[in-house]
Amino acid sequence: METIASLARKTCFRYANKAALTDGETTYLYKELSERSARLAHALLDRGLQKGDRVAILMSNRLEHIELDVAIAWAGLIKVPLNYRMHSKEHEYILEHSEASLLIAEPLLLQGIETLCPIVTTAEYEEWISPYPESMPAIEVAEDDTYAIMYTSGTTGRPKGVMLTHRNFLSGALSLIMGCGITQQDVIGHVAPLTHGSNFLAQCALLLGCKQVVFNKFEPKDFLEAIEKEKITTVFLVPTMVNLMIHEASFPSRDLSSLRTINMAGAPMAVEKIKDALEWLGSKICETYGQVEAPMTITMMPREELANKPDSCGAIGPFVDVKIVDDQGNPLSAGEIGEVICRGSLVMKGYWNQPEATAETLKDGWLHTGDLGWLDSQGFLHLVDRKKDVIISGGANVYPREVEEVLNLHSAVKETCVFGIPDEKWGEAVYAHVVLKEGQQVTEQELIELCRNHLAGYKKPKAILIVDTLPKSSYGKIMRKEIRAAYWGVSQ
C-alpha cells in the first residue's frame, strides 16, 4: 500500500519542473523539493536517528515545514509538531513525553525552553543539510507506521500525544481532495499554522502536485492582497480568520475570483456568522469536522450545501463510519442527541505511551469523541456541544452552543461564551460572556430578553457580562474551561 513517502516521491518525479513551494521570496520546483528533502533525510539519519525516532518541530510557517514532511517520511521517522504559540513549559513537557531525539527550531522560539534534547536551529539548517546526497534514502515505510505524534490542546489536563499513521494522513488528505474538489491545478495557501490544520492541505498538495504558498503570519489585509497576486485557490482557515478577513476594510475592493475553496474547521461557527460569511464570500466554504484523533474529515460539508444546512457540520466522510450513542453505548435514531463515535482508517492508532487513555477513548475500534450531536434523516451531523460542557440546571440539560446561537442573532454581538456557574437552588445556572462588535452597544437586559423570546425559561442566562475579549487557545478556540473556572474557584 502507499505511504506519504512513496506518493511524495512519485509527485516530485512527475512534476519535477513545476513550482512546488514559495514564500514570496524563495521558490522551489518539485525537483528542488525532492533534492532538499533527500539531503535533509540523510542529515537526520547521519545524526544516528533510526526508524521510528521522533523529530520535534518548533517554528512558525516556513518552507522548511514542507521539506520536513517529506524528509521525515522518507527517513521513516516520526514528526512531533509543536505549536509555537504555546508556553515554553508546554514545549518542555511534549519534548520529554514524546522522547524526541532531535528538535528543529527557530532560535527566537527557544527562549525559556530547558531540554536535554539535541537542537538544530533554522539558522544552521542550510549548512547542516548541504553536504548530503540528493537521492532518497532506502528506508522501508509501511502504511501503518506512525508518521506523526500530534498533541491535543490539553483541555482535560496534560496534552496527549495522538499517534497518526501514514494511512491516517492519506485518508484525511484523500477526503479533503474529494470533499473540497482539489485538483492538480490548485494553488494552496498556508496562512494558518502548518503544525496543525493547514498541514493536512499540505498533504493534499504533495499527493497532487499543487503549488503551495506559505505565509509566516496571518494579516488579513496582506493575505487578501496575496490571494489576488498569487491566484490562490484553496486555503484552510479557522472561523476567527474568516470573520477577520471578510470584515477587513479592503475586502470589497479585492479580486478574489481565484479563490474557490475555504476549508473551514478548528472550531464551531455560529449559524448567523456562517450566513454572514456566505453573504460576503458566496459558496466558497467547505466546512469539515474532526479531532486530532480523527483529523479534519469525520464529516464534510460541500460548498454548495452549506447555505442549505448552516447548522450542520456535514455528511459522514468517506473513510469513517459514524454512530450516535447513549451513555450505555446503545445506538440512537435520527434526531436523537448522543455522543458522536466513529471508526475507520481516519482514526488514530492510539495515544503515545498512554494505554489507559487509549483504552478509554478507543472502545472496540470506535473512537469516542466526547462531542454530543445528532444525525438528520439525510445523514448530516449536527453538533450540540462537548459532553463535558453541558450545563445541568434543575436536572435539565442546557447546551451552551444552543444559547450562544441565540445571542449571536443580535447584530451587535461579535463573540459569545456560555457556561454554568454554581447555583444553590438549581445546582448550576446559565451564564454568558459576550464581546460586542467595535462601535456597537447593547445592554445585558436586551440580550436576556432576546434569549427569553427564543428559548425555554430554564435555558435563559441568569446574567450576561459584556467583556472586551474572550481568552482563546493557541489554536484559536474560546477557552470555556478557563472562563468557567473563575466562577467555581477551582482549576477545572
DSSP string, 418-454: EEEEEETTTEEEEEEEEEEPTT----HHHHHHHHHHH
Average pLDDT over residues 325-336: 95
Confidence (pTM): 0.86
CATH class of 4-381: alpha beta
Average pLDDT over residues 315-333: 96
Beta strands of 152-266 (E only): which ranges? 161-165, 187-190, 211-214, 234-237, 261-264
At the topology level, CATH places domain 390-488 in GMP Synthetase; Chain A, domain 3 (3.30.300)
Average pLDDT over residues 16-39: 97
Q: What backbone phi and psi angles, to 5 degrees, belong to 52?
A: 95, -10
Average pLDDT, the chain: 93
Q: How far apart are alpha carbons 238 and 216 in whole angstroms?
A: 16
Report the pLDDT value the prediction gives residue 491, as an integer from 0 to 100.
Answer: 44
Cell of 138: 532506502
Portion of the chain with pLDDT greater than 90, in percent: 79
Check pLDDT > 60 for residue 2.
yes
Average pLDDT over residues 302-329: 94
Q: Are strands 366-375 and 380-386 parallel, antiparallel or unpaired?
A: antiparallel
Q: Is 175 helix (H, G, I), strand (E, B) or coil?
A: helix
Check pLDDT > 70 for residue 375.
yes
Q: Percentages helix, strand, coil for the chain, rounded to the nearest 5?
A: 35, 25, 40
Q: What is the pLDDT of residues 198-253, one digit of tens each?
A: 999 999 999 999 999 999 999 999 999 999 999 999 999 988 889 889 989 999 99
Report the pLDDT value the prediction gives residue 157, as an integer from 0 to 100.
Answer: 61
Sorted by where each begins, the domain ranges of the chain are: 4-381, 390-488
Average pLDDT over residues 425-432: 88
Cβ neighbours, 10 Å, residue 181: 16
Higher pLDDT, 387 or 100: 100
